[in-house]
Amino acid sequence: MITIKDIAKEANVSEGTVDRVIHSRSGVSKKTEAKVRKILERHSFKVNPVASALAMKKKHQISVLIPEYNDSDLFWKSPYLGVLKAAEDVKNFGVYVSVFRFNQSDPVSYLNAFEDLLETKPTEVIMVPNFSDETKQIIKELEALNIPYLFLNIDIKGFNNIAYVGQDSYTAGYVAGKLMHLNNPESSEFLIIQTLQNITKNNSISDRIEGFKDYFLKNEINSNSRGLKLENLNDTLENQEVINSFLKNHPEIKGVFVPSSRIYMVVNCLEEHHLKNLQLIGFDNTPQNTACLLNDSVAFLISQKPFDQGYKSVRLLADFLIQNKTPEHKTYLPIDILMKENVKYNGRDEFVSENNNAVEVF
């Protein structure tokens, strides 16, 4: 393997000069830099990122702002575990990761977690932009401090985020529309159920709904989608009354689309005869949703690979910090269609422990 010493000898320059060229530091004439780079390219020289980080004795701090999870909403556990796994993988490169969690229903919690995050003096930030106004405030501070930031899972337009890692929500919704049509090839009506909480803060939800509807419009399929907005999916008794009354008044409905990770809550509200006669499609293989898939309450789940979202976000920023490798502006994860027969083969977060010494969690 060729070394910096070999390159320096061939170029007839000092090892320090080669090191400055490799790391794009000043102090080298353009003529010398061109000569050294030509030799580096000829030998396909690659910097060892571990050795480079150790040699420079430089530490990088990636701080992550992500929602909490709980027993009724386990979705955010998977991206969190992905972050933990990536943190373990990059710690030897001099990259340190801290995670700050917030209540996704509380904008004050979001801002407070961000203020705590700033105390780590981050080199870069990974964030789930959960509230529009508060996100504008956070990004204003990050940009004033010249801290690059990456959006995880939720893609909000109009900002200068270095990258977005997550699902192509519009296409995922389009896929859901196609699945619904394949299960109901005749002219049909479908119900889209969402919460007011989803409507106000999550662009991915609205993009999925748009994609779902566009499938029927673009393919000139004579089907209609109705919408039902619930105040709070956690209020089971009220939602049972609202959903079942709606379905009773609209017997023409053949399928239900829930563009969030809580389709199991809708299943818990439906009367038995509705469950038997409706095709249900939702998102994410949380344990509760998977149980609904396995007992035939839900026809399909669309996975947005949340573990891989967390893992990929950290690795992209680590590569940017260590190797100056600029990430693609949009990194879309595969859209997996899950059904009863294949759901057990999807996901790998169950193999990751939450007790990870490579990460500070707040």
Q: Are residues 299 and 319 in the same domain?
A: no
Q: What is the 3-state secondary structure (H, E, C) of 4-59?
A: HHHHHHHHCCCHHHHHHHHCCCCCCCHHHHHHHHHHHHHCCCCCCHHHHHHHHCCC
**In the structure encoding, which two tokens stand for residue 144, read together?**
């004033």
Phi, psi of 29 (to 5 degrees): -65, 155
CB 137 within 8 A of CB 127: no
In the chain, the number of structural domains is 3
- Residues 10-29 have pLDDT tens digits of 899 887 788 778 877 667 88
**In the structure encoding, which two tokens stand for residue 328, read together?**
């693609």
pLDDT of residue 236: 83
pLDDT class for 187, splitting at 50, 70, 90? confident
Question: Does residue 261 fall inside a structural domain?
Answer: yes
- Residues 248-300 have pLDDT tens digits of 999 999 999 999 999 999 999 999 999 999 999 999 999 999 999 999 999 99
CB 212 within 8 A of CB 192: yes
Q: Are residues 265 and 116 in the same domain?
A: no
pLDDT of residue 35 exceeding 50, the answer is yes
pLDDT of residue 97 exceeding 90, the answer is yes
Question: Does residue 219 fall inside a structural domain?
Answer: yes
**pTM for this predicted structure:** 0.80
**Vertex 110, ends 105 and 116: CA angle to 5°?**
150
For residue 22, the domain's CATH number is 1.10.260.40
Question: Does residue 266 fall inside a structural domain?
Answer: yes
For residue 156, the domain's CATH number is 3.40.50.2300
Give the residue among 253, 161, 260 at the shortest CA–CA distance from 207: 260
Taking residues 230-252, report their average pLDDT. 90
Domain range enclosing 38: 4-46
Q: Are residues 75 and 33 in the same domain?
A: no
Question: Does residue 54 fall inside a structural domain?
Answer: no
Residue 265 C-alpha from the chain's centroid: 22
Task: Count other C-beta atoms under 10 Å from residue 52's C-beta.
Answer: 17
How far apart (Å, rounded) are the C-alpha atoms in residues 82 and 305? 10
Please enumerate in sequence order all residues whose Cβ is within 8 A of that of 317, keeping only pairs 6 or more positions apart, or say none.
62, 124, 126, 148, 150, 162, 327
Q: Are residues 161 and 310 in the same domain?
A: yes
Q: Are residues 278 and 313 in the same domain?
A: no
Q: Are residues 225 and 287 in the same domain?
A: yes
Q: Are residues 40 and 116 in the same domain?
A: no
- Residues 301-318 have pLDDT tens digits of 999 999 999 999 999 999
Q: Are residues 288 and 329 in the same domain?
A: no
Q: Are residues 89 and 147 in the same domain?
A: yes
Q: Are residues 230 and 296 in the same domain?
A: yes
How far apart (Å, rounded) are the C-alpha atoms in residues 215 and 169? 13
Average pLDDT, rounded, for the chain? 89
Q: Are residues 109 and 221 in the same domain?
A: no
Phi, psi of 241 (to 5 degrees): -65, -45
Looking at 57-66, 101-110, 131-140, which range is the least confident one? 57-66
Q: Are residues 191 and 265 in the same domain?
A: yes
Burial (CB count within 10 angstroms: exposed 0-12, middle 13-18, buried 19+), residue 348: middle
